[in-house]
């Protein structure tokens, strides 16, 4: 256990933590303000890296279907807004990327983990997704996400929510 572990890890049924973050599209999004809509909140390690690019492209491809199911998709990493803007523009992402440079959301959602990068231990985001229902409750948590087929699985979960 490192000192970076949060006191309580979120569980399904918990109310989503209230976090407000800036997006690459120029507005601020507050998670609690999304009450009434279904939300897929996915945390990814870094802009413009292979897995993160594929994940963003998959969510973009399915974004019209998420919207048809009255759901919002939000990607979060610790990258700054200018990095998010370049990343979203390069690949034509159609949903907001939130910038968590202060690590407020990554800590509240407990997705900051010790990772081994080329033999050195560093703190990084563990690819994780949270599905939030219309009452702002977390209904699904997936950690150590495997990118392939992930967006499709999240869409299936969203479609089953009232």
Residue 85 bears catalytic tag: no
CA separation, residue 160 to residues 23, 70, 133, 154 (Å)? 28, 12, 11, 10
Question: Which entry of 19, 34, 41, 52 is annotated as an active-site residue?
Answer: 52
Sort 96 into a burial class: Cβ within 10 Å, 0-12 / 13-18 / 19+. buried
* The residue count for the chain: 162
Distance CA(41)–CA(74), nearest Å, equals 5
Give the residue numbers marked as catalytic.
Answer: 52
């Amino acid at each position: 256990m490192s000192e970076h572990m949060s006191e309580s890890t979120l569980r399904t049924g918990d109310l989503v933590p209230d976090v407000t973050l800036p997006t690459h599209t120029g507005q601020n999004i507050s998670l609690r303000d999304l009450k009434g809509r279904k939300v897929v909140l996915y945390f990814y390690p870094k802009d413009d890296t292979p897995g993160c690019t594929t994940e963003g492209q998959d969510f973009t491809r399915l974004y019209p279907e998420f919207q048809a199911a009255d759901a919002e998709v939000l990607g979060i990493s610790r990258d700054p807004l200018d990095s998010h803007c370049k990343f979203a523009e390069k690949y034509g992402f159609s949903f907001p990327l939130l910038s968590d440079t202060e690590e407020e959301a990554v800590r509240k959602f407990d997705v900051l983990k010790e990772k081994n990068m080329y033999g050195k231990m560093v703190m990084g985001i563990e690819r994780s997704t949270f599905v939030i229902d219309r009452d702002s409750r977390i209904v699904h948590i997936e950690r150590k996400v495997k990118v392939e087929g992930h967006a499709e699985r999240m869409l299936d979960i969203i479609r089953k929510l009232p």
